[in-house]
Structure 1
Amino acid sequence: MFIYSSKTESSNFEQDDDNYLLDAPLTPGYLIYLARSELDSRAKLGIYNDVRNAEQPELVNQYLEDYNSTSARLLACKGEKTNSWSKAVEIVKNPIAVYRMMRRYVYVLKPIWSRLNSTNEMDFLPNLYGAVTPTIDDFYETIESILNLQQFYDFNPMEFSHGLILNLQTNITLNATHTYEIAKYALKQNKYSLSLAWFMATMELNQDPEIIPWEEIEGQIETLVQEHDATHAEFAHDEKQGTYYFHEKLANNPSSLRMRDIHYKTKFGVRPSGQDSYASVTAYYNLMGICSGDSFLSETDRAKLFCKLSTKPHPFFILNPIKLEVRSWSPYVAVFHEAIPKSILGYFWSSTVSLFLNATNPTTEILKTQSGEAVNILEDLNVPDDPRDGVKYRIKPAMSVAHFTDEQAGERFLNYAEMLTALNVKGEGADTFRVNQYLHGNPLRIHCDHLQGHNDAFTEEQGDRIVSFLVFLTSPEVGGGTAFPNLGFKVEPAMGTVIYWDSALTDGSCDFRMAHEGCYAAHGLRWTSVKLIRQKANILKKTCSTREGYWNNDY
């Protein structure tokens, strides 16, 4: 079981020579750590505020007001008995709360820390910061996450600013200063269609022209139009680079259609083949549409599907039937609803949370060296890098990925996996359990689990990956499912639900129809555990059916 940090930048603040800090990537584990640390900071600043009364810095008031209107509001209904880590998780579930928390850390808490340090008041407020301090880049990543959600789900920034995250009202809001900040950042990234929507929201929310002058906002919009139109001919109709453009020059037609909408109409529902099933723009628009609630399953395909209580494929389920839903027959995709007991998943959840949090905390011995670099334990654990182009980050150890050996995963979990799949998943029967944690707007990359001929260190002895077994460890409130862009549907996330699919054709080659990816969790945490089952240990169990080209999946 391990973690590897991909960032090693040291803290901006001076530390003891033997205390090396890691600037952790922006992941749920890192954010949970920060939210938990801020609970302490809020308590300490509250005491400071009471003691100093009228003498406290204005920044302290500003900090407390912002915290009380976001994190404190989220936690108001949780009760005093809720532990601090559970409170931190509730904060991190909400992308608006995360944005405002990171903003406080970078723009408010850091200056407070500096001021108190300069006035020798740090004895009164020891350890105001946690061991890891966010940077401006971390804050920008929270904006990127919001923009990715906007592009993917096409939400209205004005509604989002009022706390509405798709169909969930959270009552955590953004003001004109926040929306203006997001708009300007999007403009710098040349995301013109997204930026313009945030500028429009700023115009509606801006109640005090002295804080944000109207002419300043109008000047930014004019800059947007000029920059957009100057590069329109070069990029607007480019499938890969023109996503954030409008169909026409804005100076000619301020109501021009977005290229996003034009691409969606022409591409959604088209089924690409081969490597285009995961590497093409068409696949991305299919993913985007399916995750947003659209589907292109034919009525003929729908008529073949069913959902039932199943007593197969193991005698255990005769007394404990499971809810089986077949989502596709060819290729085969089955969903076992809430099949893994929460008592088993509780171990996985607590272990991975602890693991990710310990990796965030640089005092963890496994992540410390004299140079301040994270220890690369990849070779020590003999976990292979993934040789396929474009998907290395999914397999390579990182702050967002943890691997569990069979012993660490636990016998009960493995037994359930074998009973549900009727395959060998222990030892050489499958890869290690891999747990993935996702931030709200982490970049998506559609992929196939099959190695496609790019053999890894285990292929010769274990064969290729022929079956994928995915378990949802959490139940995100909005989004967070797993979508199959070539098949036209998604599976909604629920803690304990399992998705089983065949990654290979009956001749052992990659089934490109099984390209898949997770949908953004717009509210909540998407954590999954995946077991990739290998060929050789299952050669007598994974058999072909009497129907040519079909595996025997008799449930």
Structure 2
Amino acid sequence: MLLAAGDCFEIGRAAYNAEDYYHTIMWMQEARERMNKEDPPTALLEDVLEFLAFSLYKQGNLKMALKLTEEITQIAPNNQRAKGNIKWYEDLLIAEGVRKSDLRRQIPTILNERPLDGLETSERDIYEALCRNEVPVSTKALSKLYCYYKMDRPFLRLAPFKVEILRFNPLAVMFRNVISDDEIERIKALATPKLNRATVQNAVTGELETASYRISKSAWLRGDHDEVVERINNRIDLMTNLEQETSEDLQIANYGIGGHYDPHHDFAKRDEPHAFKSLGTGNRMATVLFYLTQPELGGGTVFTELKTAVMPSKNDALFWYNLFRSGVGDLRTRHAACPVLIGIKWVANKWIHEKGQELRRPCGLKPSIQELYVGDLGAPEPRYFPNIRPAP
């Protein structure tokens, strides 16, 4: 499905209203280009040029803003606002010391450099490349991965989990078909009336606040809120072998078109002493992320340090450890939610905390020791050990 020029214009206008002139320019340029291929065009050229010109003015490119505004008067000679803007741009340039004879000379090109947003340029580039699925995966690395049936708890002898190892070092796995369609619909029904703009924790104050780098709506569901939520909490215990009494409530998140969450860590770093302090349950040891829907395009989960990407697949759950077994945060788990391009993305996530895991996930003999599979306490891997997988 291709976006029409009018669609690009509306996206650019939304960016303009958010004072995001970088993306305004990108989308207005795209709208202008697509109009040339449309008959009839789905946007007005004078509107596109006006937003483009003012955004360039905000970036300091006054001469190009003046040039584009004069193009508007050629298309619509009676456009009084454009005429007024021409006079305004001329006055601003003269105030900057530009001579009248030079107002329309040596016009700079449109550079449109991305403003600083807290992310390093290299990480931003990796994040976007991963979201576009442009980062190749090593065949050698893929050859070491495998699937197995998790059967290391008594109940799982009757109903084992299907586990696909996505990555070692650090471990990340996908539990396949662990939540039913009926459970998904029940969770969405419970969460919908509670949805509010998603927040992030301020690293300095520990307070929750909204941020432009996380665009979604979220709601929280307690275990005693509904039988389905309690059942899922019990299932997470079986999936991860981790205590759920000290985990956070189940968070439901809804991402519309453009919804995303820039690269971040789930755990609190040493310079964030107030994070999770009120909970009294320690740091976020692990994350379980259920995919409740599957967008038509976009919405992946990507790990920027590890250069790996996971595409959402309905009914499945992604799991990884945020901390080493020593309790130190694993900086390699920095991850992001890619923008949703087509469709709607629903997820449910559970953050599992340190307290109560002393016997479930004890410290290793070495600080750097890492799991080879979920619940690894030193036994052979599932691919070699028949007691935790069905006999061939």
Q: TM-score range by the shorter chain?
A: 0.5 to 0.7
2:126 maps to 286
**Which position in structure 1 is the counterpart of 2:258?**
441
Contact 1:481 1:493 in 2 (8 A): yes
Q: Do the aligned partners of 1:543 and 1:551 also contact (CA within 8 Å) in 2?
A: no
AA paired with 2:292? L
Aligned counterpart in structure 1 of residue 352 of structure 2, from 508, 513, 533: 533
Distance change (3 Å), C-alpha of 1:433 and 1:204: same
Question: What is the aligned counterpart of 1:338 among 164, 177, 185?
Answer: 177
Aligned equivalents of 1:470 and 1:250: distance in 2? Answer: 53
SS of the residue corresponding to residue 487 of structure 1 reads coil
1:423 paired with 2:238, answer no
Give the secondary structure class of the aligned counterpart of 1:323.
strand
Aligned residue type for 2:160: P
Please report how far the alpha carbon of residue 333 of structure 1 lies from its aligned counterpart in structure 2 after TM superposition.
Answer: 0.9
Q: Which residue, 17, 24, 34 being the options, matches 1:201?
A: 34
Residue 388 (structure 1) aligned to one of 196, 199, 203: 203
2:158 alignment partner in structure 1: 319
Distance 1:462 1:218 in 2: 55
Question: Does residue 488 of structure 1 match 2:307?
Answer: yes
Match of 1:406 in 2: 223
CA distance in 2, matches of 1:229, 1:507: 51
Conserved 8 A contact 1:385-1:456: no
Structure 2 unaligned blocks of 5 or more: 64-104, 377-381, 383-392
Instruction: State the match for 1:551 in structure 2.
Output: 370
2:3 maps to which residue? 160
Q: Which SS does the other structure have where 1:413 is aligned?
A: helix
- Looking at secondary structure, tell me which structure has more helix per residue: 1
Q: Displacement, 1:323?
A: 2.5
Structure 1's 522 and 391: CA in aligned 2 closer, same or farther, altered over 3 A? farther
Whichever residue aligns with residue 234 of structure 2, its letter is N
Measure the CA separation in 2 of the matches of 1:353 and 1:523.
20
Amino-acid identity (%): 18
Distance, in Å, in 2 between the alignment partners of 1:337 and 1:203 is 46
2:304 is matched by which residue type in structure 1? P
- Structure 1 residue runs without a partner (length 5+): 1-95, 97-158, 162-173, 233-248, 264-275, 361-383
User: 1:49 maps to which residue?
Assistant: none
For residue 296 of structure 2, what is the aligned residue in structure 1?
477
How big is the shift at 1:523?
1.7
- Paired residue secondary structure (2:234): helix
| Secondary structure of the structure 2 residue equivalent to 1:289 | helix
Q: Which secondary structure does the structure 2 equivalent of 1:406 belong to? A: coil
User: 1:183 and 1:535, CA in 2 relative to 1: closer, same or farther beyond 3 A?
Assistant: closer
In structure 1, the partner of 2:21 is 190
- Which amino acid is the alignment partner of residue 232 of structure 2? F
Q: CA deviation at 1:294?
A: 2.1
| Offset, 1:412 | 1.4
Q: Distance in 2 between matches of 1:293 and 1:550?
A: 31
Which residue identity does 2:61 align to in structure 1? A
SS at match of 1:418: helix
1:273-312 Cα distance to aligned partner (Å, 9 max, x none): xxx9x94332222221111112254444333222x24133
Count residues with an aligned counterpart.
319
CA-based RMSD: 4.0
In 2, the alpha carbon distance for the partners of 1:250 and 1:418 equals 67
Q: Which TM-score applies when normalising by structure 2? A: 0.68
CA–CA separation in structure 1 for the residues paired with 2:210 and 2:241: 27
Provide the C-alpha distance between the structure 2 equivalents of 1:494 and 1:474, rounded to a whole number of angstroms. 7
| Per-residue Cα deviation, 1:379-423 (whole angstroms, up to 9, x for no partner) | xxxxx983525994479xx98221112212533111211110011
Q: Is the 8 A contact 1:336 1:499 kept in 2?
A: yes
TM-score (norm 1): 0.49
Say whether 1:432 aligns with 2:249. yes
The amino acid of 2:319's aligned partner reads Y
Report the alpha carbon displacement of residue 456 of structure 1 after superposing the two structures with TM: 4.0
User: Is 1:304 paired with 2:144?
Assistant: yes
Which amino acid letter does the alignment assign opposite residue 435 of structure 1?
I
**Residues 1:299 and 1:225: Cα distance change in structure 2 (over 3 Å):** same
In structure 2, distance between residues paired with 1:318 and 1:544: 27
SS at match of 2:262: coil
CA-CA distance at 1:528 after TM superposition: 1.4
Q: Note closer, same or farther for the CA distance 1:231–1:471 as it changes in structure 2 (3 Å cut).
A: farther
| Stretch of structure 1 that moved more, 404-413 or 292-301 | 292-301
- Equivalent position SS for 1:205: coil
Report deviation, 1:179. 4.9
Q: Is structure 2 residue 171 aligned with structure 1 residue 352?
A: no
Amino acid at match of 2:311: E
Q: CA deviation at 1:443?
A: 5.2
Shift of 1:513: 0.8
